[in-house]
A = this chain, B = another copy of it.
Amino acid sequence: MSVDDIRKARSASEFNRENLESVLRGRFFYAPAFELYGGVSGLYDYGPPGCAFQANVVDLWRKHFILEEDMLEVDCSMLTPYEVLKTSGHVDKFSDWMCRDLKTGEIFRADHLVEEVLEARLKGDKAARGISEEEVEEDAEKKKRKKKVKQIKAVKLSDHVVKEYQDILAKIDGYSGPELGELMVKYNIGNPATGEPLEAPREFNLMFETAIGPSGHMKGYLRPETAQGQFLNFSKLLEFNNGKTPFASASIGKSFRNEISPRAGLLRVREFLMAEIEHFLDPEDKSHPKFHEVKDVKLSFLPRELQEAGSTEPVVKTIGEAVESKMVDNETLGYFIARIAQFLLKIGVDPNRMRFRQHLANEMAHYAADCWDGELLTSYGWIECVGCADRSAYDLSVHSDKTKQKLVVRQKLDKPVEVTRWEIDLTKKLFGPKFRKDAPKVEAHLLNLSQEELASKAEELKNTGKLVLKVNGIEGEVEMDDKFVTIERRTKTEHVREYIPNVIEPSFGIGRIIYSVFEHCFWSRPEDTARAVLSFPPLVAPSKVLLVPLSNHKDLAPVTAEVSKLLRREKIPFKVDDSGVSIGKRYARNDELGTPFGVTIDFDSVKDGSVTLRERDSTKQVRGSADEIIKAIREITYNDASWEEGTKNLAPFVSQSETE
């Protein structure tokens, strides 16, 4: 098959999730953890191929981001004391709403429950109206969930109820817990199995809690993200970088999230590998010196406006255009979006199933200035796999405030300057009593006002004696009188410019990315749909070579040993399969493992040392000496050569068993 034929075959192959899962479980890419003990939902173990794939993805991530961009990698503690996560906002905010069935003990996540029950009723309505199932358009997004509602009852609803349900579903992600509770009462939503009413929604913090030390008094959590460890080390990192910005730190490690009811396999788990970058930069200069290198990268964007207009059709443009048109806020954010895309494509993501979706205003963390999710299309719908957010100065500000330690960049000015600028002074002691837990947000908001905004606020203060603000993350308006703030235009001689840097944060959910790549690389041979293939790029494939002696004949063993030795010396991961089964069966097994190359040893190999090299996707074969074949494998796997380039000096080989 030619490269084009393979591409056609791959895209023609209809995706079947059960087949994929059967391959992934059967070949031990992963398995539910503690299966021997009945398993624990949301916890998985990676077996040898899954683990090797993950290690290769992480290794490539490290090279693509850390090495290439000269980032400062850190490895921080997972156990985190209460205080830190209280300050960051996780103790108060990192939660979902759950409701219990007090009779059965079952626990439901409130928003998912309301959504599924209303959807089921709408379907029942359509059924009652005689609209067939096929006509009912199903949102792929919803398929990812294991349904709580097992049976659809054909019950007709009145037209205005249908309209109400549709309105609720359209904004289902925006309801607070009490609002969900009201909906449950109003629409009589209970346990779908029994119809019995449930307890009102309660907030459930998603962090795993533990006690550090023997006293039992030091409350701690397992970190929900690696970011906080990086923020806390900001000053040390800045010093390590000789005081210069911009610079980025990075961290790869496990984080934890105590999901209420985990589902969707590897996509929603309680323990997961993250790779996060915190790029610290001057809030007044978000340009990027290497932006020109990526400006022509073409991507699919789903900006806020499109979504608000109800569209899911992305616009395709270069990142250069996206930044220039201000659709993407700044160069650095744009640079990372392009680099994220390049990384995803390298590890096997299908470019047609990748998009960048901008967060809606109500969806964005309160501190974020802009945020784009790298989403991958899977059989569960579009999945958020990478977040790329401008976190502004929020995190450093709140930690600095709490610990009374400066977390700033001091930029020495070449010569002192007379600076006239708007300055704002906060009467901090008034903020706590008035705004309580919102105080840091209000303060951060005020301290982040631009010169233009300060000018206008000074005017407002002068005219009305008070300020009225709309602060991200706080409902309604915030009001304060002129005892809280002073805004003045002052002239000073400055020798040093001091500022809290902003943070651009690309954050990768490695497990979700890996699962998406599994889906994108999975297909079946057109001649036999039972023959599944995982077409991983060689660089990230768990093993690179399957070494196959034609038979168990003892004469072949020395050649197998010799080729093994060569591969090991070249540090190319390989497996020997000298089981008695047919060559075809052995290759089929390894197509499922995604091994890109097969090396066959036959009786001619004993005579002249030549071996056959087989390519997984096309099943093409070439012949050469072991040295030549290994060189080709190395070039294709590690040096970006195509199959044609890598094997151009090798003779094509037609085996008796080509039909396998």
Nearest-neighbor residue (CB-CB) of A71 within chain B: B48
Task: For A403, list chain B residues within 8 Å (CB).
Answer: 36-37
**Binary interface encoding of chain A residues 531-552 relative to chain B, with 1 for a CB under 8 A from any of its CBs, else 0:** 0000000000000000000000
Cα A55 to Cα B55 with chains together (Å): 12
Contact string against B for A residues 238-273, beta-carbon threshold 8 Å, 1 for contact and 0 otherwise:
011010000000000110101011000000001100
Q: Are A214 and B79 in contact (CB under 8 A)?
A: no
A476 contacts B by Cβ under 8 Å: no
A142 close to chain B: CB less than 8 A: no
Given known pairs A83-B37, A215-B105, A403-B36, the reply for A75 and B46 (CB within 8 Å) is yes
A210 within 8 A of B: yes
Among residues 568 to 607 in chain A, which have CB atoms less than 8 Å away from a CB atom of chain B?
A: 568, 571, 573, 575, 579
Question: Does residue A212 face the partner (Cβ distance < 8 Å to B)?
Answer: yes
Shortest C-beta distance, A456 to chain B (Å), equals 35
B residues near A575, Cβ cutoff 8 Å: 70
* Residues on the B chain within 8 Å of A573, using CB: 67
Residues of B within 8 A of A16 (CB): none
> Which residue of B is nearest A564, CB measured?
B70
Residues of B within 8 A of A189 (CB): none
Judge if A177 is at the interface, Cβ distance under 8 Å: no
Partner of A77 from B33, B222, B232 at Cβ < 8 Å: B33
Known: A73-B55, A236-B28, A242-B579. A36 touches B405 (CB 8 A): yes
Residues of B within 8 A of A229 (CB): 33, 45
Q: Which residue of B lies closest to A82 (CB)?
A: B37
CB–CB B258/A213 < 8 A: yes
Judged by a CB distance under 8 angstroms, whether A484 is at the interface is no
User: A414 vs B520: C-alpha distance in the bound complex, in angstroms?
Assistant: 44
A36-B210 CB under 8 A given contacts A47-B74, A75-B51, A254-B78: no
CB contacts (< 8 Å) of A36 on chain B: these are: 232, 399, 403, 405
CB pair B579 A34 closer than 8 Å: no
Digit string of A372-399 for contact with B (CB within 8 Å is 1, else 0)? 0000000000000000000000000001
Interfacial chain B residues near A67, Cβ < 8 Å? 568, 571, 573
Interface string of A23-63 (1 = CB under 8 A from B): 00001100101111100111111111011101100010011
Distance in angstroms from A414 CB to nearest chain B CB is 13
Known: A43-B79, A222-B210, A271-B78. A48 touches B73 (CB 8 A): yes
| Cβ-defined partner of A233 (8 Å) among B45, B77, B232 | B45
Q: Which residues of B lie under 8 Å from residue A210 when comparing CB positions?
A: 208-210, 222
Chain B residue at minimal CB-CB distance from A50: B75
Which residues of A122-149 have CB atoms within 8 Å of chain B's CB atoms?
Answer: none
In the complex, A237 has a CB within 8 A of chain B: yes
Q: What's the least CB distance linking A122 to chain B, in Å?
A: 28
Distance in Å from the Cβ of A60 to the closest Cβ of chain B? 11
Q: A36-B232, A213-B258, A214-B258 are in contact. Are A73 and B51 (CB under 8 A)?
A: yes
- In the bound complex, how far is the Cα of B107 from the Cα of A327, in angstroms? 58
Interface residue? A314 (CB, 8 A): no
Query: For residue A274, which residues in chain B have a CB less than 8 angstroms away from its CB?
Result: none
- Residue contact B232 to A34, C-beta cutoff 8 Å: yes
Closest to A35 in B: B232
Q: How many Å lie between the Cα of A44 and that of B72 in the bound state? A: 17
Q: Looking at A45, A209, A214, A270, which has the most chain B CB atoms within 10 Å of its CB?
A: A214
Q: Is the CB of A45 within 8 A of B73?
A: no
Task: Contact check, A240 vs B62: say whether CB atoms are below 8 A apart.
Answer: no
**Which residues of chain B have C-beta atoms less than 8 A from A42's C-beta?**
213
Instruction: Report how far A325 CA is from B213 CA in the complex, Å.
Output: 45
Contact, CB under 8 Å: A76 / B233 = no
Q: Is the CB of A236 within 8 A of B98?
A: no
Q: Evaluate whether A215 and B37 lie within 8 angstroms (CB atoms) in the complex, with A48-B73, A67-B568, A571-B67 already known.
A: no
User: Which residues in chain A, 155-190, are within 8 Å of chain B measured between CB atoms?
Assistant: none
A315 CB within 8 Å of chain B:
no
**Contact assessment for B237 and A47 in the assembled complex, using a CB-CB cutoff below 8 Å:** yes
Tell me which of B45, B54, B218 contacts A40 (CB under 8 A): B218
Instruction: Report Cα–Cα, A220/B40, bound state, in Å.
Output: 10
Pick the residue among B47, B208, B212, B220 that contacts A79 (CB under 8 A). B208
Known: A210-B208, A213-B258, A573-B67. A233 touches B31 (CB 8 A): yes
List of B residues within 8 angstroms of A254 by Cβ? 78, 253-254
Question: Are A240 and B78 CB-contacts (below 8 A) given A210-B209, A212-B270?
Answer: no
CA distance in complex: A212, B59 (Å): 31
Evaluate whether A77 and B237 lie within 8 angstroms (CB atoms) in the complex, with A45-B229, A212-B258, A215-B105 already known: no
Q: Is A419 on the interface with B (CB-CB < 8 A)? A: no
Closest chain B residue to A209 by CB distance? B210
Q: How far is the CA of A55 from the CA of B214 in the complex (A)?
A: 32
Per-position 1/0 for A198-215, Cβ under 8 A of B: 000000100011111111
Q: Determine whether the beta carbon of B63 is less than 8 Å from that of A75.
A: no
Q: Closest CB of chain B to A600's CB: distance in Å?
A: 19
Contact A270 B74 (CB under 8 A): no
- Once bound together, how far apart are the Cα atoms of A237 and B50, in whole Å? 13
Given A210-B222, A568-B68, residue A77 in contact with residue B107 (CB < 8 A) = no
Identify 7 residue pairs between A and B in the complex whose beta-carbon atoms are under 8 Å apart, listed by A's number: A40-B220, A46-B76, A51-B75, A79-B270, A79-B271, A105-B215, A254-B254
For the complex of A and B, the 4 pairs showing the least CB-CB separation, nearest first, are A33-B77, A48-B72, A46-B75, A43-B77
Having A36-B232, A79-B256, A213-B260, one finds 4 other A-B pairs with CB under 8 Å, namely: A42-B213, A47-B236, A54-B75, A208-B211
What residues make up the interface of A, taking CB atoms closer than 8 Å to B? 27-28, 31, 33-37, 40-48, 50-52, 54-55, 59, 62-63, 67-68, 70, 72-81, 83-84, 98, 105, 107, 204, 208-215, 218, 220, 222, 229, 232-233, 236-237, 239-240, 242, 253-254, 256, 258, 260-261, 270-271, 399, 403, 405, 568, 571, 573, 575, 579
